[in-house]
Amino acid sequence: MVRARPGFSLPSLAVNAVVQRTSTQYRVRLELTSAGQTTRREFQSESCNALVRAATLSIALAFGDGAEIDEASPPEEQEKPAKAATSPAPAQKPEPAQANVAVPPASESAAKGRRVSLAVGAAWSPSLLGGSSFGMQAFAALRWPHLTLNWLNRAWLPHTVQPAATASARFWAATTALAPGLRYQFGAVELELGLALQAGVIHGAGADIDSPAQAWAPWYALAPSLAVGLELGRGVRVVLGQEFVLTPVPPEFEIAPIGTVYRTPVVTPVTTLSVPLDVARF
């Protein structure tokens, strides 16, 4: 695309380019060497075409006033002026070719390789423990380009249920889950569909009575989920998720002398917010 203006000749110019691609943008580093002096330029953009344009303009400026850009020429015709422009220094031509050949496999490996993520976050449910319940969660995830496998652990903070005017019961719960999922990337936005297999325990204890009793119940459930993530930086995301926990056999709690104080619902909505961080790539 760069050629000499009529009546001008172009000086010898060596161009070396290093291209990097992250999950959200491209980055190009140029080294322009002419008459023993080297000038360095760096550009970054979400558009590959924008970087081609910027790099071409930088090379044209490095040639000086005798260069012009011919964007109307077809690709076959554009290559000839480029070769003519660099013909005084043929030894420098292999450098850009070597950079262009070596960079794409490394970029594809970074974009398509597997990743290991760790995350912490919070959870909220309007009915899990008999009312508005809050919990903390932490998980580890193995991520492929379109698949994920999450190991999720969650602890629900103690919550008080008031089944009678003179007595109450206090509950807390802990669960662990294995959740495979499908992942779709749209630039910096990520959509994930998952299905978790949950297991855990719920603990209840009577309060405000003379002889408080305790009760334990196992917890087994399926939890389809939808999560939307936004990439804040390289390897750092914020994820908002919505689960619908399906309990085939809802645990029921009977604490003497209160009686049946609580029965978990068959379907429990759970909203989560977490911040995952990629800690390894391979």
Instruction: Give the pTM.
Output: 0.59
Q: What angle do CA 56, 87, 4 make, to 5 degrees?
A: 50
Q: pLDDT higher for 210 or 224?
A: 224
203 touches 172 (CB < 8 A): yes
Across 172-187, average pLDDT:
94
Asked if 215 and 163 touch (Cβ cutoff 8 Å), the reply is no
The Cα 65–Cα 11 span in angstroms is 11
Q: Exposure pattern of 12-40 as b/e (b: 16+ CB <10 Å)?
A: ebbbbbebebbeebbebbbebbbeeeeee
Cα separation, 85 vs 108, in Å, equals 32
Is 115-281 CATH 3.40.50.10880? no
CA distances to 23, 69, 185, 213, 260 from 111, rounded to whole Å, are: 6, 33, 11, 55, 54
pLDDT band at residue 160 under the 50/70/90 scheme: confident
The confidence score (pLDDT) of residue 147 equals: 95
Average pLDDT over residues 25-53: 85
Paired with 262 in beta bridges are: 253
Going from N- to C-terminal start, the domains of the chain cover 2-112, 115-281
In this prediction, residue 167 has a pLDDT band, given cuts at 50, 70 and 90, of: low
